[in-house]
Amino acid sequence: MERKRILEIGLQMEKSAQEYYLSAVDKVSDRGTKQMLKELVEQEAIHVQMFEDALAGKEVAFGKDLPDLGEDLKLGETMDAAKVRGDSDPGDILVVAIKAEMRAIQFYSESAKAFAGSDTEQMLLALVKEEQVHKARLERLYDDEFLR
């Protein structure tokens, strides 16, 4: 797949994630969960800007101050996909988010291979790390709230 198409797909993925997290903020009551979702909205906005800049031919800053991944609980790998409906509980909302982060990780990982040694590869690999952090945070929250 060509670079422009990968960047366009990435942009749409990040916009969708941002919109999803924004809509999820209103569907949860726990303050900590709301705050984490708001932080994810902000982080996805940074990713959107990164893709928009890359598509416009601007220099893209990436890989700076990447947060520590922490332990990967691998909950998403064992979860069945959920769908968000009007009566969805916060657990379903988190499962959908975890699965979306997993798809982003896979897409960016696979796409990076086509651009070995380039700035595009570095940008995509930095996004893999950030999406892994998002997944880990969501899994820890799910573990704390729904599995204990």
Q: What is the mean pLDDT of residues 59-64?
A: 76
pLDDT band at 63 (very low <50, low <70, confident <90, very high): low
Q: What is the mean pLDDT of residues 30-57?
A: 93
pLDDT at res. 72: 82
* Residue 49, CB-side half-sphere exposure with 13 Å CA sphere: 9
pLDDT at res. 57: 95
CATH class of 3-147: mainly alpha
pLDDT at res. 67: 65
pLDDT band at 38 (very low <50, low <70, confident <90, very high): very high
pLDDT band at 21 (very low <50, low <70, confident <90, very high): very high
pLDDT tens figures, 70-112: 678 888 998 887 777 666 788 888 999 999 999 999 999 999 9
| Contact call for residues 34 and 25 (beta carbons, < 8 A) | yes
pLDDT at res. 64: 64
Spacing of C-alpha 6 from chain mean position: 16
| Contact call for residues 138 and 70 (beta carbons, < 8 A) | no
Q: Quick check: 40 pLDDT over 70? A: yes
Rg of the chain on CA atoms, in Å: 15
| Contact call for residues 93 and 141 (beta carbons, < 8 A) | no
Spacing of C-alpha 83 from chain mean position: 17
pLDDT band at 128 (very low <50, low <70, confident <90, very high): very high
Q: Quick check: 28 pLDDT over 80? A: yes
Q: Which residues contact 18 (CB under 8 A, 6 or more apart)?
A: 41, 44, 45, 47, 48
13, amino acid identity: M
Tracing tokens 């916009």 back to the chain, one arrives at 15
Every domain of the chain and the residues it spans: 3-147
Query: Cα separations (Å) of 42 from 12, 35, 52, 65, 119?
Result: 16, 11, 15, 15, 24
DSSP tag of 86: T
pLDDT band at 146 (very low <50, low <70, confident <90, very high): confident
